[in-house]
Amino acid sequence: MTLRVSMFLSSLAITQWVMAQASFVTDDRVAVFYPAQYDASLHQPSPIFEREPAAINPLPSDWQVRPKFSEHDGKTVATINIEEGTDLYGTGEVTGPLRRNGRTVGLWNIDTPAYGVDNGTHLYQSHPWVMGVRKDGSAFGIIADNTWKQSIKTADREVTFESEGPAFRVVVIERNDPKELMQALVDLTGTMELPPLWSLGYQQCRFSYHPDTRVKEIADTLRYHKIPTDVIWMDIHYMDSYKIFTFHPQEFPNPKELNDYLHQKNLKAVYMIDPGVKVEPGYFVDDQGTAGDFWVKDKDGKPFVGNVWPGPCHFPDFTRPEVRTWWATLYKDYMATGIDGVWNDMNEPSVFGGPDGTMPVDNWHKGGDGVAAGPHARFHNVFGLNMVRASRQGLLLANPQKRPFILSRSNFLGGHRYAATWTGDNLSSVEQMKLSVPMTLTLGLSGQPFNGPDIGGFCESATGDLVAQWTAMGVFFPFVRNHTIDGSVNQEPWAFTPEVLNACRTAIERRYILMPYIYTAFREASVDGMPVMRPLFMADAKDLSLRGEDQAFLLGGDLMITPRWAENVAQPNGGTWQIVDLSTLNSKLSTPKSDKYQAELRQRPGSVIPVANLAQSTTEMTTDSLTLFVCLDAEAKAQGQLYEDEGDGFSYREGNYALSTLKASLDKKILTVSVCQTEGTMSKPERSLRIAYVKNGKVQYSAWQKGNQASMKVKK
């Protein structure tokens, strides 16, 4: 008789069911392992999963990846033996190499300014997830469904999760290759929502640009130097005494006028909102939170008070649905000033002088919506996730016709559903620049596709050479923002030498002409969870030479990026990917004769990459004129995709988009490329197309041709 148990049992029923260790598997090769003494009320509903495995069968006897549960020195432990020769990846926000074998990662979100290599294994986010890729290219994923403080240890033959909390369940996913595994992960955790197009552009930030005249000066200078840009950011100095949802009466007296000024220049404005609410009678946010009894409590049941930028602060208890709803209402008037996006920072939460720089673990959260009340020890790692969940609710309430954009410093596995992320307060150093590649790749492999570092580095002062190098590489990351700390040297592209300015502008222009391809990659991430920025081994999971490559990387599936500083880079498919020179695309592109910074681009054989004409913002970008870069495979064919929609709003959910297949073939020296819409109801006007035929490091261009097909005679 086949045993089937619903995952939607009550907490008590599950606890009774697993008095002895139990394990089950779904019909699509997802296994769930319960230890003895598992108490679902201490873990569920899980913040990780958008969809619990619906029905469970007995685990087959040949299932390979199985945890063993134990207790050791008061800690609960899950140990998983793995096959020899397995390469391990994931583990979330960490410094170090892409390949994670032989590493220990601490999962306890803390404010870690100026982190380096040695302390970069214990940062602002927690992702209890390990990906394993066997020698044959098959892949598995391990999730420790546990928000309590824990660590991940990865040896060559063993993965261990060690927790200071109660016994937790482990979920194991088996798939044929890493791509299928990423798709299976988001099938459980949910996909990233499609972000607004403007959030994929270049972004300029500082801690802080103030007063408002300085913000306008930055906007004017960006446009004067013709540096394509979409966003300027406001750090905490825009606030009145660092009180959230307020504006400094002297420095930012009319935020709507400032935001209108930016909008006239096709720039968006993103402003910071921290979780700490200044304790001050008469301050409307503190008054409302106190009247509603919305604060996190200390061990004695009184509202907890901790110091952050404003001084003594209260902290919303985001585990409570009524608190999240209240928090959401705060955004309506705030966003009405013309703010486009929100930056949630300090949300580990950071508490100056607190234990580990945060709240005491015996603080108390009330929970709700099926989440039992419990100590901060349980909810600490998901404080940031619950905050951005509430903030997203607020942005949708304020602007229901716009896609929310939220950037968060703290998060947890599954939090990609609510916010993008950046890698926190890194250092302005060559070492950190190089480490940002595997760091960004690892976050992508941990289910967070929209992420990136502060370009140029945040802490300390960058040199012009470092900013140029980092920008030339960083423009191919998912999130692209130049940001630096208060008191450092100016870090804008024009702050150094004409050479640095030209190098940065050239790099940023490369991103903007590739925007149709990049937006298509983001759409793919929103559908099936594929990282926008990928490790080379995803081009061929069976090629062992690619497993440890973490200098070069893939942007989408068809473009390989090799930073100028990289050495001895592995090459997929025996080095057959073709070099692409974008500088020949348009005479208006910056093409300085001597540029030692730009990354090398290579295109996958058998691919078609759509690129646009240069624009100064995504608002100005059009896909009515497209250049199609064609790199043929051994059969003289190639194929690609192009996704188009309105760039904002949600009409795409009702079919108002266009997904087109790009096909190319060579017959008797005539190369023909067609654009055929295969999905969506969005109608496109007649296009102008141009072919860019890539071969042997050179590009041959056709003339511009009207319609959805173009052809050219290729040279030898």
Would you name the residues annotated as active-site residues? 345, 348, 425
Residue 211: cis peptide before it, omega within 30 degrees of 0: yes
Separation of first and last alpha carbons in the chain: 68
C-beta neighbour count of 158 within 10 angstroms: 11
Euclidean distance between CA atoms 436 and 451, whole angstroms:
11
Query: Can you tell me the distance from the alpha carbon of 496 to that of 488, in angstroms, rounded to the nearest whole number?
Result: 13
| Contact yes or no for 151/122 (Cβ under 8 A) | no
Reported as type and span, the H/E element at residue 528 is helix 515-528
Sheet holding 553-555, edge to edge: 533-534, 553-555, 559-562, 600-603, 578-580
Burial of 153 (0-12, 13-18, 19+ CB in 10 A): middle
- Helix axis angle, 515-528 relative to 498-513, nearest 10°? 60
97: left (phi over 0), alpha (psi -120 to 50) or beta: beta
- Kindly give the pairing relationship between strand 454-455 and strand 481-482: parallel
H helices within 225-330, ranges in order? 255-264, 284-291, 321-329
| Secondary structure of residue 569 in the 3-state scheme | coil
Question: What is the C-alpha separation between 90 and 108, in angstroms, rounded?
Answer: 16
Order of strands across the sheet with 277-278? 277-278, 311-314, 306-308
* Interatomic CA distance for residues 216 and 492, integer angstroms: 14
Q: Which amino acid is at 373?
A: A
Q: Are 39 and 120 in contact (CB under 8 A)?
A: no
Type of residue numbered 35: P
The span from the CA of 627 to the CA of 610, in Å, is 6
CA 278, distance to chain mean position in Å, is: 30
- Residues ≥6 apart with Cβ < 8 Å to 485: 207, 425, 458, 459, 460
Q: Which single residue is written with the structure tokens 């051994």?
A: 634
Residues 6 or more apart from 501 whose CB is under 8 A from it?
Answer: 225, 493, 494
Q: Which residues contact 77 (CB under 8 A, 6 or more apart)?
A: 69, 70, 71, 160, 161, 162, 163
Rounded to whole angstroms, how far apart are CA atoms 203 and 415? 22
Residue 534 to residues 211, 287, 322, 675: CA-CA distances in angstroms? 39, 47, 39, 26
Written as one string, the DSSP assignment of 643-664 is EE--SSSSGGGGT--EEEEEEE
